[in-house]
Structure 1
Amino acid sequence: MAKERIQLGAQEIIPGSWFTAEALSLTSESVTVGGNVEGIRGGGFYGKVMLFEKEVIKITEPDSWHKLWRHINWGLSPFPSQSNELAAQLDFLAGRIINRVVPEVTDGRVVTPDAIGYVDLEKIGFGQVIERMRGRGARFYPESENDIFNQTRQQIWELGIALGLEQVAQVHPDNPFGKPNLWTTDDGQMIWLDVLPAIKHTGWVWPAFNFKFHKDVRERVGGGEETFNRIHTDRLRKFLGNRSEELSGNLSYRGCS
Structure 2
Amino acid sequence: MNPNPKGETVTRRINKTIVYIVCIFLAVLSIFPFWIMFVNATRSTAEIQSGLSLLPSSHMMSNLRVLLDKSFDPIQGFLNSFIISSSATILTVYFSSLSAYGLVTYDWKLRKPFFTFILCVMMIPSQASAIGFYQFMYKIHWTNSFLPLILPAIAAPAVVFFMRQYLLATLSLEIVEAARVDGSGEFKTFNRIILPLMMPAVATQAIFAFVANWNNLFMPLILLTQKEKYTMPVMVSLLRGDIYKMEFGSIYMGLALTALPLFVVYFLLSRYIIAGVALGGVKE
Q: TM-score scaled by structure 2?
A: 0.24
Give the structure with the higher percent strand.
Answer: 1
Give the structure with the higher percent helix.
Answer: 2
Higher RCO (CA < 8 A, seq sep 6+): 2
Q: Which has the larger radius of gyration?
A: 2
